[in-house]
Amino acid sequence: MVAAVEAAVPGTRSVTSWGTPAVDVGLGVVSQLKALGVEVHDVGADVCTIEDERFFSYRRQGSASGRFGGVVVLR
């Protein structure tokens, strides 16, 4: 799967902190938006939600986790 996503959206191939192959979905979205000329302010580019306790993480907290929200503004 990683190779297929990387072929479609270059730069999304990643590796987890424990060394397994991964897809950086956030980077893929940012890359596509920038390619379309959208100005992007990515405030969480270097944040891992499972490791950073400032953020909710179902993987870390299970069903007790909260929820995220996102905002897109069209001008």
Residue 12 burial class via C-beta count within 10 angstroms: exposed 0-12, middle 13-18, buried 19 and up: buried
DSSP lists the bridge partners of residue 13 as: 23
Type of residue found at 75: R
Residue 68 has pLDDT above 80, yes or no: no
pLDDT tens digits for range 51-63: 888 888 888 888 8
Residues 6+ apart with CB under 8 A from 22: 2, 13, 14, 15, 16
Is this structure's pTM higher than 0.85?
Answer: no
pLDDT in tens, 16-48: 888 999 998 888 888 888 899 998 887 676 777
